Amino acid sequence: MRKLLFIYILAFVCNASFSQVKIAVKEASKHIGDSVTIIDKVSGVQVLNNGIMLLNLGGVFPNHLLTVMIRPADIQKFAFKPAGKLKGKPVVVSGKLIDYKDKPGIIVTDPAQLEELSQGDPRLSLQNFK
């Protein structure tokens, strides 16, 4: 019985440690190191000279609240071109929050981490887009 209880507690702790926390983009700076899911509009897109793509959420650079970074090798994994398709669109992004140049950031390595939301998506009603 103790062994079963131990396995149950271990499974619960592991599940809790890997679960995504849904937060507002304005709360991102309080969750550095956490795995999160954020819904917001892509306010700006920038492609650096080295091919890294930066998507700004929560405002236009330099007043944005979150940077989503996609490396060139990972951009190739997308079935679409994120820079052209996502600017001005609401998205849901998931991943571990890091400190990127004194702002919260998420590094996207898999297209499943970044999803464009369509107009009828019920998740949009949870956000206040301007």
Residue 128 lies in a domain: no
**Residue-wise DSSP of the chain:** -HHHHHHHHHHHHHHHHHPPEEE-GGGGGGGTTSEEEEEEEEEEEEE-TTS-EEEEESSSTTS-SEEEEE-HHHHTTSSS-HHHHHTTSEEEEEEEEEEETTEEEEEE-SGGGEEEPPTT-GGGGGS---
Question: What pLDDT is attached to residue 2?
Answer: 53
Q: If you search the block for the tokens 């309080």, which residue do you land on?
A: 30
CATH number (domain holding residue 10): 2.40.50.140
Residue 19 lies in a domain: yes
Residue 37 lies in a domain: yes
The number of domains in the chain is 1
Residue 126 lies in a domain: no
Residue 77 lies in a domain: yes
**Cβ-contact 68, 105 below 8 angstroms:** yes
Question: What pLDDT is attached to residue 126?
Answer: 61
Question: What pLDDT is attached to residue 6?
Answer: 46
Residue 58 lies in a domain: yes
Average pLDDT by consecutive 10-residue portion of the chain (130 residues)? 48 51 94 96 96 96 96 95 92 96 96 92 66
